[in-house]
């Protein structure tokens, strides 16, 4: 199961369609956790459209569980947006029984990369594209990093103790049963390999061009402080990336996974959680930040005005979405 999450906010009517007004110029937009295997979320995905012919869309993982659904959703979006960039979530990496593709671990990931390339969707294995529209130039870097259980339950010192605590409380991520790390001995080993490979690319990147980092998980642990169940944090990232937003010139960090859509800042860097989430979640809170989040140009409302649709102002404080 997945842990229940804080931050659903007061009851609000569902907003199943995107009603964002047309934009004066192209925008860099983002979304995650579409979960199109759920009927209501499939309808939401069908409603997503650009508001300018030059709009790009960043998809920060958890599109779906089966390869057919993943291909359907990314293909639909690739046909509509000028460019689609995908970073995998944990759900895409599951090997569910009802999928016609039974590949596991690294082989499954590589299969999805080739699926995306056939659709014209960029992946973490491709050269990083440069957004030259309003707010640019920035290099868009989709990442695939996973987690290594280093965000442990408070009070324990080892991965084994942290996992045991999670099993005792019944807060266990489905990854433990469906996300296979083959050929690595564990998901933590796969994570360390991905971190090392990604770090080499980041170190080779020209620091004169700022980065928009796109990963399914946040690079820092702070966003998980608002989880109802702290046990779930161990499936949300790694300490190995804690300084990346400072070490590398980062304009924005885009992530999902937590199903707590909001805008926060850490060390002065803007972090955008852009998830749609499950119907049981968005039925309660609606979509107060919009279905697609504007990443660039950075929306800066005039004094005394509310942020435009799809944006929020926050400081990392626990509670309802900022």
The percent of residues above 70 in pLDDT, for the chain, comes to: 86
**Per-residue model confidence (pLDDT) at position 18:** 53
Confidence of residue 299 (pLDDT cuts 50, 70, 90): confident
Cα torsion for 237, 242, 244, 249, to the nearest 10°?
120
**Per-residue model confidence (pLDDT) at position 307:** 41
Q: How much is the average pLDDT of 188-216?
A: 98
Q: How many other CB atoms sit within 10 Å of the CB of residue 147?
A: 23
Q: How far apart are CA 149 and CA 127, in angstroms?
A: 29
Q: How many other CB atoms sit within 10 Å of the CB of residue 78?
A: 20
Q: Is the pLDDT of residue 243 over 60?
A: yes
Q: Is the pLDDT of residue 3 over 50?
A: no
Distances (CA, A) of 47 to 6, 18, 34, 85, 163: 27, 6, 12, 19, 39
Q: How much is the average pLDDT of 219-227?
A: 97
**Per-residue model confidence (pLDDT) at position 13:** 36
Which of 10-14, 85-89, 97-101 bottoms out in mean pLDDT, i.e. has the lowest?
A: 10-14
The whole-model pTM stands at: 0.88
């Amino acid at each position: 199961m997945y842990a229940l999450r804080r931050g659903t906010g007061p009851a609000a009517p569902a907003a199943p369609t995107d009603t964002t007004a047309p934009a004066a110029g192209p925008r860099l937009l983002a979304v995650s956790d579409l979960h199109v295997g759920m009927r209501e979320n499939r309808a939401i995905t069908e409603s997503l459209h650009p508001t300018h012919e030059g709009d790009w869309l960043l998809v920060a993982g958890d599109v779906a569980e089966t390869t057919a659904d993943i291909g359907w959703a990314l293909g639909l979006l690739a046909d509509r947006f000028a460019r689609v960039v995908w970073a995998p979530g944990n759900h895409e990496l599951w090997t569910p029984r009802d999928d016609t593709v039974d590949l596991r671990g690294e082989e499954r990931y590589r299969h999805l990369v080739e699926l995306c390339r056939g659709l014209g969707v960029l992946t973490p294995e491709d050269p990083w594209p440069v957004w030259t529209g309003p707010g640019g130039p920035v290099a868009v870097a989709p990442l695939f990093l996973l987690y290594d259980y280093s965000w442990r339950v408070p009070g324990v010192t080892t991965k084994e103790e942290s996992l045991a605590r999670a099993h005792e409380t019944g807060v266990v991520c489905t990854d433990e049963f469906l996300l296979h790390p083959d050929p690595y001995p564990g998901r933590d080993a796969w994570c360390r390999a991905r971190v090392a490979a990604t770090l080499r690319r980041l170190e080779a990147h020209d620091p004169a061009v700022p980065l928009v980092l796109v990963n399914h998980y946040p690079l820092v642990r702070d966003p998980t402080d608002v989880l109802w169940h702290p046990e779930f944090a161990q499936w949300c990232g790694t300490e190995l990336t804690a300084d990346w937003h400072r070490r590398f010139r980062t304009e924005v960090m885009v992530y999902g996974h937590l199903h707590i859509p909001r805008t926060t800042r850490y060390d002065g860097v803007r972090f955008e959680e852009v998830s749609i989430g499950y119907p049981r979640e968005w039925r309660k809170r609606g979509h107060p930040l919009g279905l697609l989040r504007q990443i660039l140009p950075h929306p800066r409302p005039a004094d005394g005005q509310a942020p435009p649709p799809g944006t929020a102002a926050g400081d990392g404080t626990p509670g309802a979405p900022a």
